[in-house]
Amino acid sequence: MASGSFSELDAALPELERRYLDLHRHPELGFAEHRTADIGARALRAAGCEVTTGVGRTGVVGVLRNGDGPTVLLRADMDALPVREQTGLDYASTQVVTDESGEQVPVAHACGHDMHVTWLLGAAEVLGGRRENWAGTILFVLQPAEERGSGARTMIEDGLFDRFGTPDVVLGQHIGPMPAGHVFTRPGLTMSASDTVHVRMFGRGGHGSRPETTVDPVVMAAATVLRLQTIVSREVAATDSAVVTVGALNAGSKANVIPDEAELQLSIRSFTEPVRQRVLDAVRRVVRAEANAAGAARDPEVTVVESYAPTVNDEAATESLSTRFREVFGEQRVHPGPIVTGSEDFGEFSVASGAPSVFWFVGGTDEQRFVTASEAGTVDQDIPSNHSPQFAPDLHPTLSAGVKTLVIAALHHLGG
Ligand code: ZN
Ligand code: ZN
């Protein structure tokens, strides 16, 4: 594809729009994306892919083979959020579902994953129709449960790379509250790592008047909280950074009863994989050592309940793709991206496969509206961001822009 022309996309646009509106009206929570997966599987088959469903529970993989060449993985996440949509759009979600804990919750595509699915399926159609332009293999990955931080890993543990091939490059994109049709790329670190850790420390309860007959988990937990604060100050280099927050500490229910156990909930943020591992190892070590110091008879339980690897873009691949984006979209529509403090499990595909990855953002906010808010200094108040009940991407040119970025990125690695 020398020119970056997308004449076939104009014809496909009404169908893309119809598909997006349908997905938007029918959001599904993580690992419950049955309808979305079914729509995705059928569209990938129609584009010429060999399709496998049920990969990592509700994940879908479409393999498009076209002779010898590199393997490119394109990823879109499918899940929605337990949010009551308040956009006022005529296609707003009114869905209420039963979540895994049995509670009734409203559901909405407040993070724009419906757009991601639409983009990926649009790209599959374009690439399937342009086989004379490229050679190699494309893995189209529809991932479940990104918002739970476990969908990528579930697919990997279900043999994603063994069954469908190890990619040479991993590519993905996210919609954001930036001007529609604009693209934001950042070499290196682009999103932080996040780990949520639950800790249970076991003592031996008894009467508050006779502590010598007990192992007091309240004192054990209190000492642990203070000692955990030395991880960042004493074990992380001044030139690195991390956060260890104990956001919940629960033990006991009465002044004169020493309880049996204490529970801590930690939120950990880090920006590189080595620092992340060092902090997690230190948390385990400190918790175990404090339990030992208190004479606990039973080892504490440390469980990572949610985790997102840092999203780190390969420097060379990102620079080279950004140059290509600028050639197609123009200098004024391709910008350096910020480090996003949110987290994504996209990075897992790169970490597990060893392949370089590039993850970029595509704006979804009406450009004039963004400029007006920007000039007034009110972007944060006036432009609803991802996860807001008011998050409502503009359809055009957002729909076509994200298809183009994926197609351009795939062809960039497949000789097009
Ligand atoms: Zn999200
Ligand atoms: Zn998201």
C-alpha to C-alpha distance for 217 and 101, rounded to whole angstroms: 29
C-alpha to C-alpha distance for 134 and 140, rounded to whole angstroms: 16
Q: Digits of tens for pLDDT over the chain (416 positions)?
A: 444 678 889 889 999 999 999 999 999 999 999 999 999 999 999 999 999 999 999 999 999 999 999 999 999 999 999 999 999 999 999 999 999 889 999 999 999 999 999 999 999 999 999 999 999 999 999 999 999 989 999 999 999 999 999 999 999 999 999 999 999 999 999 998 999 999 999 999 999 999 999 999 999 999 999 999 999 999 999 999 999 999 999 999 999 999 999 999 999 999 988 999 999 999 999 999 999 999 999 999 999 998 888 899 999 999 999 999 999 999 999 999 988 877 899 999 999 999 999 999 999 999 999 999 999 999 989 999 999 999 999 999 999 999 999 999 999 999 86
Tokens, residue 46: 């129609």
Amino acid 2: pLDDT: 44
In angstroms, what is the span from residue 11 Cα to ligand 1's centroid?
31
C-alpha to C-alpha distance for 195 and 244, rounded to whole angstroms: 10
Residues 6+ apart with CB under 8 A from 364: 112, 115, 175, 176, 177, 178, 180, 393, 394, 398
Residue 18 lies in a domain: yes
Which listed ligand is nearest to 387 at the C-alpha?
1
Residue 109 lies in a domain: yes
In angstroms, what is the span from residue 113 Cα to ligand 1's centroid?
8
pTM for the structure as a whole = 0.85
Residues 6+ apart with CB under 8 A from 374: none
Residue 193 identity: A
Amino acid 165: pLDDT: 97
Looking at the structure of the chain, the number of domains it has is 2
Residue 358 lies in a domain: yes
Instruction: For residues 148 and 214, state if they share a domain.
Output: no
Instruction: For residues 204 and 261, state if they share a domain.
Output: yes
Instruction: For residues 156 and 39, state if they share a domain.
Output: yes
C-alpha to C-alpha distance for 179 and 397, rounded to whole angstroms: 10
Instruction: For residues 247 and 263, state if they share a domain.
Output: yes
Residue 2 lies in a domain: no
Instruction: For residues 58 and 181, state if they share a domain.
Output: yes
CATH of the domain at 109: 3.40.630.10
User: Using N-to-C axis directions, what is the helix angle for 273-293 and 217-230, rounded to 10°?
Assistant: 150
In angstroms, what is the span from residue 84 Cα to ligand 1's centroid?
14
3-state secondary structure at position 20: helix
Instruction: For residues 347 and 250, state if they share a domain.
Output: no
Residue 1 lies in a domain: no
Instruction: For residues 337 and 359, state if they share a domain.
Output: yes
Residue 254 lies in a domain: yes
By annotation, the residues acting in catalysis are: 79, 146
Instruction: For residues 198 and 187, state if they share a domain.
Output: no
Alpha-helical runs (H) found in 158-271: 160-164, 217-230
What sign results for the dihedral spanned by CA atoms 219, 224, 227, 233? negative
Contact 199, 301 (CB under 8 A): yes
140: left (phi over 0), alpha (psi -120 to 50) or beta: beta
**Residue at which a domain ends, from 266, 285, 307:** 307
In angstroms, what is the span from residue 174 Cα to ligand 2's centroid?
7
| DSSP-derived secondary structure for 303-366 | EEEEEE--EEE-HHHHHHHHHHHHHHH-GGGEEEPPPBSS--STHHHHHHH---EEEEEEEEE-
CATH of the domain at 230: 3.30.70.360
How many CA atoms does the CB half-sphere of 115 hold within 13 Å? Answer: 29
Instruction: For residues 183 and 82, state if they share a domain.
Output: yes
In angstroms, what is the span from residue 147 Cα to ligand 2's centroid?
7
Instruction: For residues 321 and 251, state if they share a domain.
Output: no
3-state secondary structure at position 113: helix
Instruction: For residues 170 and 289, state if they share a domain.
Output: no
The H or E element that residue 283 is part of is helix 273-293
Residue 219: domain span: 193-307
Instruction: For residues 89 and 204, state if they share a domain.
Output: no
C-alpha to C-alpha distance for 175 and 386, rounded to whole angstroms: 8
C-alpha to C-alpha distance for 124 and 395, rounded to whole angstroms: 19
**Residue at which a domain ends, from 281, 307, 333:** 307
Contact 194, 308 (CB under 8 A): yes
In angstroms, what is the span from residue 386 Cα to ligand 1's centroid?
6
Residue 151 lies in a domain: yes
Residues 6+ apart with CB under 8 A from 38: 53
**Residue at which a domain ends, from 264, 281, 307:** 307
Picking from 260, 230, 258, the residue whose alpha carbon sits closest to that of residue 244 is 230
